[in-house]
A and B are shown apart, each in its own frame.
Chain A
């Protein structure tokens, strides 16, 4: 870290030197030779600086991204080579172990049986539907096989552990080589613990963070990391500096009177600008691909029963699903989430649409410019307040207030976290979206339409209701659609104030859950990354993205059409 920082500083200095070198050379040439330089001296300076800095910094960036990985691969390779004798001994003993062989065979046999049972079940489902009674005995038999398989797997792992213990003990006795033992230990670890092993070894090696444990094996592994890391860091630093020096020399040698430095530099600038605008596309691409990819993995893990996800009414993702279980469905039915999202969105829009619209009409049609000048920013503060603040307000002020009110009215099951509390507060949050978008739309209605209505003797409100509003309707619909998309994607208010229970209800006083709440619930706290439970969050994210995308596209289309009509 220190070294690369130092290198980066040195490179900066070199780059500045490059600029000066290019500039002075161009000036010298300009003074010495006849005729004018093609480009200003500064452009020659930029050109040399680019040659000096760009390749070297690119190398440094490459090292920053991949350096750790390269060192890990090299060091672990070394450990693995060192542990080769232990590994061979281990494999030799394993091959002759009767229990292990028997258990492996039985796992394979059970696997085949389970596959047969599944095929049978699929055939029954295909012919008689998923609720056939013939499935029950199949399920029971499969369950039995799965338990047996677990037992056999347990035998395998315990035998392997025992043999590994024997091998390690023997290793302790004859070769006291901690490095070999470290490599052996690493090889036997499951993938998720390997990461921890590497992290601990690195922590011991570089002392930048605290290691979770400290064993001789880890120390040995750490020793394998240090020299490689150092060699790579020094190598990269020297290479970067050499590259910079070479670039400087090369760039400087190109500087002549006719050299078109400005065009080269400008070409680089426009390339950089293009790269910047590519990032917007890359972001969309990244969103779509990552959501699609993880969702596909989720659907694969629930056997492609996408319809169960989209139309199932039971949401309890905490239930673990064992691989290959027949007919274990229904726990990922997202309908309660869609219903909860819809209910809260509806309540929010019932608040935001009338208040926002009337506010917009008043501001654009009635208010004088002085009132407008302060009322509009004040309304916009509502949009600027962080959503977590609204969540806190909903949880601690609005929620209890509504609960007490409901209790007062005689509704006994009132709760603090209710759809109504979340919806009301969300509605308040959305008011400025509706009002400022509608305000723009209403302002875009040509004055001639209003003047026409006034000339017919209509009052102001009649003009608004019968002329301005119908004319602005498409735009207002667009504004409302954007507000709906905002309400659907809003997270913090519902996480804090709507509750987590996946109730399928239309009662606004009950607590409901939404798509966004479940995404947060599934992805915060401890998580194992490849479980269907975690992956389902991405499927929900995909639904959310597609839903809001459709709303946005329609809304933007409508608003744009409408603008064109009156422009």
Chain B
């Protein structure tokens, strides 16, 4: 073939290059698909880990509390009933007030007491009831601060900046009002900052106005036009407001929609309400009393950039929290409550323990039902059943059951277990039964595969020395198939552990503030499971639940990884190739 016509060879050579390029492209698509899938996984896990970081620590308020007899023991007979009626929250409030005696007015006290949730009184009560000798003594009580304060202290929801002020300032007090004067333009930095911020806001408002105008022009109905025009007017009004801040002639008024400026000086805090345009003087009111009115060059410029309207922590709350933090009464600790508490309406007190116990109970029921029944079915179908229509039907049946949506099993549980049999709603018993039915096909299919992998020579040898069929199966085939069966069962259980939808149907979405007891009685108590807890928290409106949801997901994923690791270990350790 050496004398083949040149043109064809050339054409082939040319096409070959193109074909090789196509080959490379095709290969790239393959690599791209795998990279894409793995990138998805990485983003998924990464984003959840990133979201969860704030949940593992919590700011904790530690107070010395004196258990005063007349408050803790209203009837005065030291009986348990009387101790349980004591107002322990009042004791915490008194201790807190003792730390910050400056808080005296109603609003000040409200802000002070909002640093923690009243639910924290319950553990104090339990401590006193358990040990009445504590009455009259001083005990140290730790409690997590309110979740909004926690997020603020972690710097997640509020942008703030605390810097030592430069230059001395003098204060002229006039009642609560204070006039601050610097020896130089001490507030200039703040002024330029807030002006830059206002400029951004103004641009944003103007572009909003322009968009609204365009919308009004295109509006199809009169209502839509009116709405767009109203939006435009609002946007213009906003822009105008920001213009007054930018204007270099007028003094800057601080309000709900601008950053806050707090001045910490002489052990007190002044909230600034107006700053002169040159940044030399400011007008403010005292939020935390000053020790003296003397001029000072040791002061803190404390800017809370997030405007009050956009945050849920007031200036006063922020001051109290920071003051207590400086005194070492509030500090950041590992969040043990996340792991040891059951669910709560207050994010700072909520934990996964209740759901964890619920999951354990549910999984126990699932395991006790699905594994014996599944393995029994597999043995019957693989070793005993004659190949008839009926067994063929059972096989098709099992394959189909494996692909039935899990929510349908939930409907079955609701209709049969709860409505027909009258079993309790929300109970791990019913949840476990439903999940067992769901897991059954997985267990059966993997057990059959494991049994099939045992070579027939084993059976024949056993039968050959006179064993009965049952003896051959149970004493020879089953032990050899056990690793495979266990692996399949564990993978099935891991699946059940992560399942949510069927459990929603049988009422395991209830809010359960007490963990069910770990025992027979717990099987019929209302409870929830880990994935459902994730679902419940993800629907909560508090921002603090968001990170707790991510943390709960991590706990759930760790559990599942553990399950799968055990399965992989078993497979590696005991697997036999024939």
Contact = CB atoms under 8 A, between A and B. Distances in A.
A392 B539 CA distance: 9
Contacts of B1: none
A262 B474 CA distance: 13
A286 B412 contact: yes
A interface majority secondary structure: helix
A340 to B, nearest CB: 15
A386 B535 CA distance: 11
Enumerate the 6 nearest inter-chain pairs by beta-carbon distance, A residue then B residue, closest first: A489-B405, A362-B30, A386-B498, A276-B376, A358-B33, A290-B415
Nearest to B32: A358
Contacts of B22: 459, 461-462
A280 B412 contact: no
Contacts of A392: 48, 534, 538, 549-550, 553
B48 A491 contact: no
A461 B20 CA distance: 9
27 contacts: A262-B468, A270-B380, A273-B380, A274-B380, A280-B394, A283-B437, A356-B33, A359-B37, A387-B500, A387-B501, A388-B498, A392-B550, A396-B538, A428-B40, A459-B19, A459-B20, A461-B22, A462-B22, A491-B405, A492-B531, A496-B538, A519-B505, A520-B505, A523-B411, A523-B504, A524-B504, A552-B399
Interface in A381-407: 381-382, 384-393, 395-397
A471 interface: no
A475 to B, nearest CB: 15
A491 B407 contact: yes
Interface in B269-310: none
B419 A529 contact: yes
A33 B351 CA distance: 68
Contact of B405 (A272, A294, A490): A490
B430 interface: no
Contacts of B474: 269
Interface of A: 1, 5, 65, 69, 262, 266, 269-270, 272-277, 279-281, 283-284, 286-287, 290-291, 293-294, 354-359, 361-363, 365-366, 375, 378-379, 381-382, 384-393, 395-397, 412, 428, 431-432, 435, 459-462, 464-465, 482, 485-486, 488-492, 495-496, 516, 519-520, 523-524, 529, 537-538, 541, 544-545, 548-549, 552-553, 556
B546 interface: yes
Contacts of A274: 380
B377 A277 contact: yes
A524 B44 contact: no
A276 B38 contact: no
A432 B33 CA distance: 11
Contact of B556 (A272, A386, A537, A549): A386
Interface in B17-33: 19-20, 22-23, 26-27, 29-33
Given A294-B415, A388-B498, A381 B41 contact: yes
B560 interface: yes
A548 B421 CA distance: 27
Interface string B487-524: 00000001101111100110101000000000011000
Interface string B429-460: 00000000100110010000000000000000
B98 interface: no
B504 A520 contact: yes
Interface in B509-565: 509, 520-521, 531-532, 534-535, 538-539, 546, 549-550, 553, 556-557, 560, 564
A273 B535 contact: no
Contacts of A491: 405-407, 500-501, 504
Contacts of B43: 397
Contacts of A545: 404-405, 408
Given A392-B534, A492-B535, A287 B404 contact: yes
A124 to B, nearest CB: 38
Contact of A389 (B377, B470, B534): B534
B372 interface: yes
A491 to B, nearest CB: 4
Interface of B: 19-20, 22-23, 26-27, 29-34, 36-38, 40-41, 43-44, 47-48, 51, 215, 372-374, 376-377, 379-381, 384-385, 393-394, 396-401, 403-409, 411-412, 414-416, 419-422, 437, 440-441, 444, 468-470, 474, 494-495, 497-501, 504-505, 507, 509, 520-521, 531-532, 534-535, 538-539, 546, 549-550, 553, 556-557, 560, 564
Interface centre among B27, B400, B407, B534 (most CB of A within 10 A): B407
B394 A277 contact: yes
A385 B43 CA distance: 13
A362 B30 CA distance: 5
B419 A379 contact: no
B376 A389 contact: no
Contacts of B47: 393, 397
B41 A382 contact: yes
Contacts of A556: 396, 399-400
B397 A382 contact: no
A210 B509 CA distance: 20
A354 B32 CA distance: 11
B400 A552 contact: yes
A541 B502 CA distance: 12
A355 B406 CA distance: 25
A375 B34 contact: yes
A264 B520 CA distance: 34
B127 to A, nearest CB: 24
A90 B437 CA distance: 50
Contact of B381 (A277, A359, A432): A277
Contacts of B420: 290
Nearest to A359: B33
B305 to A, nearest CB: 22
A548 B404 contact: yes
A279 B26 contact: no
A230 to B, nearest CB: 19
Nearest to B379: A273
A492 B500 contact: yes
A388 B20 contact: no
Contact of B27 (A275, A366, A485, A549): A366
Contact of A276 (B44, B377, B401): B377
A459 B23 contact: yes
A273 B384 contact: yes
Contacts of B44: 385, 389-390, 393, 428
Nearest to B497: A386
A461 B376 contact: no
Given A362-B31, A389-B534, A272 B501 contact: no
Interface centre among A277, A378, A488, A548 (most CB of B within 10 A): A277
